[in-house]
Amino acid sequence: MSTCRLLLVDDEAEFIETLGKRLARRGLTVHLANSGQQALDIIAGNELDVVVLDVKMPGMDGIEALQKIKALKPDLEVLMLTAHANVEVAMRGMELGAFDYLMKPVELDELLYKIQDANKKKCLTG
């Protein structure tokens, strides 16, 4: 797990800064983005393994960002994260290639487990 390169994308800066620090302490290399566009810029310039992507963001939402991420790097695994329970959005994300869908607030251990699973899949397919 120490080689997992992760991108956290959420418009709530304090949330991803705190989460990023906690994940970095667990051995992950963590990048942070506050918007879909910033995420795409980071993805274009860095080798990453997993993206944790908030669904509800101003401007480019998570579904649109997911489509662009998959167009840019199809093998990059994306976990969708949202505070808003919406089965249709979850299904749409999965149809577009999201690895999984998690609800906020997410337990750190659950998130780590999903990141590990997504990273293993990327290693097997990429």
Q: Render pLDDT for 59-90 as a digit per residue (tens, 0 to 9).
A: 999 999 999 999 999 999 999 998 876 778 88
Question: Which residues, 6+ apart, have CB-to-CB distance to 73 below 8 Å?
Answer: 43, 48
106 neighbors 81 (Cβ within 8 angstroms): yes
45 neighbors 67 (Cβ within 8 angstroms): no
Residue 126 is predicted with a pLDDT of 61
Q: How many helices (H) and strands (E) does the chain have?
A: 5, 5
40 neighbors 15 (Cβ within 8 angstroms): no
Q: Render pLDDT for 29-56 as a digit per residue (tens, 0 to 9).
A: 999 999 999 999 999 999 999 999 999 9
Residue 35 is predicted with a pLDDT of 98
Residue 75 DSSP label:
T
Q: All domains of the chain, ordered by start, with CATH?
A: 5-125 (3.40.50.2300)
Q: Render pLDDT for 101-110 as a digit per residue (tens, 0 to 9).
A: 998 889 999 9
The CA distance from 43 to 28, in Å, is 16
